[in-house]
Structure 1
Amino acid sequence: MKKAINWKFTIVLLLIGFMIAVQYNTMEHPKERDTRDIWAIRQELAEEKKIHSELLTEIRDLDRTISSYRTLSESSTGQALRDTVDKLHKKAGTTDISGPGFTIEVRPSVESIAYGIPITSISSDLLTRFVNEVNRFKGIHMEIDGKRLTMMSSIRVINGVTTVNGLNVSTPPFTIKIISPTMSDSEKLYNYLLASSIHDDFYLDNLVLEINQPEKDVTVRGYPDKFKNVYLKELPKGE
């Protein structure tokens, strides 16, 4: 009889000990909680919706292109393909383009001139940050000191000098040109850059940004070199 009572007592103690251990482990290692406020979550949701909208727009454009190919006669197919190639060249940045936009003058600060502080080439980190600020807006075409910025462009330091596409960026002053899809987009980007903290970063490097008012007709140059075709191959005629 006493053995049975001892076994029951032992089992109860084991159960109590197991429950205490589980509770202690839960208190020591709680599940991670999302501590962001509602506005941070709403902002992330808005960004995801924007990306979703852009993807839908691209899909609709591709669907329209496919539909146009299907409805064209054989004599018109060649022209349609040429139009598509021209559109891709424009999107890749290999052609000159004009549209609504504005220019920015990168100049030495007044204080650096007054105190005779020597101005060197703009740092690659600062120029990259500026490009990232502008690229918050979609459909942007940019030219930095006469050098077209594309998806294949690189900003790096070569022999102590900042370069774009392997070409030296002039010691300030130099000009940056930006084109947006519409005049309204240019005005939004213009106002955004006016209020951006990027001005403080330039000022720390003894530089200032003089942002000119948006204009209806700004021209940026095309990327001068041809892109190398690595993956696509032309099929023989008749295949």
Structure 2
Amino acid sequence: MTETPGTSPDVVTDSIRLLAERGWDATTVDQLAQAAGISRATFFRKYGSKEDIVFADHAANLERLERLLDRPGADPAVALREGVLLVFRHHVDHRERTLARHALLRQVPQLRDRELITSHRYERVFRRWLRTALPDSPARDTLATALSAAAVAVHNAYLRGWLRAPGTDPSAELAAQTERLARTLVAGFDDAAPPAGAPAAAPPRPAVVVTVLDPGAGTEEIVASVREALA
């Protein structure tokens, strides 16, 4: 299935729009196949169930994201920015499909769980890549988890804003904010880590509470008693 911005609506877009207009429960796979001009068996083979076709384009987009990130030596902040922008542009460049899907999800609560699963798949791709792209350090896994979750959260916030005002294009702002976020988090973890070659911090000393039962005892007598007890 070719997904080129600006071409005529495809089967995925038409099916999502049909489901939104006629209603989820009222629309059958047979009707979707008929509208697409294909057999029921072909529809199932190419697109799966009704739920599958609503998110069918994301499988290909996840593959594009993985190819984009698979660049040895790339600056993690820059690559993360480009990855988030790729995902966002996929929604914006397929405007009618994204708006139809948003309308459908508002009608069908059960699809929102699938939307969350799809969002987590993007997060896993970012996290898996960051675990190899970030500099090796004890905090790398933690930083990869934090960065991937934050990047997807920022993307989703901008997407929600665009859905409310689809005539706008916040791509440039999203890209800048994502890179700034990445550099801030990486720098924060670097600042928290001890410099390379620095001696390990000494373990904290145990707290000792001394109770003086003789109110007339002097300091030297107290210290001598403590030393004697420790000896």
Question: Which structure shows the bigger proportion of residues in helix conformation?
Answer: 2
Please report the TM-score for the alignment, with normalisation by the length of structure 2: 0.22
Please report the TM-score for the alignment, with normalisation by the length of structure 1: 0.22
Relative contact order: is structure 1 or structure 2 higher (C-alpha 8 Å, sep ≥ 6)?
1
Question: Which structure shows the bigger proportion of residues in strand conformation?
Answer: 1
